[in-house]
Copies of this chain bind each other. A is one copy, B any other.
Amino acid sequence: MFLELDLKSSIPVYIQLRNEIVRGIGSGELAFGEQLPTVRSLAADLSVNSMTVSKAYQLLDSQGYIHTDRRRGTVVCARGEMPDFLENPDSKRELVLLAREAALGGYTREEFLKLCSDAYIELV
């Protein structure tokens, strides 16, 4: 299982799980249309409460990354159905904040864009 959680982190587990799954889709570890484990089995695998997994799935569903298929359970959405998360104003604010922290930290624009590019290039 490629999903890594840090139970000591201040970030809620269900958010970490949501993020890990988005990363997994982005990196190809989870294919478009692929079936996800059931809530119970994933909860058992990760040793977390099944409500936590359920909340992560609900969040991903509401954001449009996954959906529930009556016959096949929970599946990753198709490539073309992926949401445009950066249209979310909160994401924009987050990006601006990171950029300003970078600038204050002494990064030139080129250095910052290099970091951004590296972050992107890790995707398939």
Contacts and interface: CB of A to CB of B under 8 A. Distances in A.
Q: How many copies does the complex hold?
A: 4
Interface of A is mostly: helix
Contact of A102 (B19, B25, B85): B85
B70 A22 contact: no
Size bracket, chain A contacts: 35 or more
B115 A68 contact: no
Interface string A96-124: 11111111111101001101110111110
Given A23-B96, A86-B105, 12 more contacts: A7-B69, A7-B70, A49-B71, A82-B104, A85-B105, A86-B115, A99-B119, A99-B120, A103-B120, A103-B123, A109-B120, A112-B120
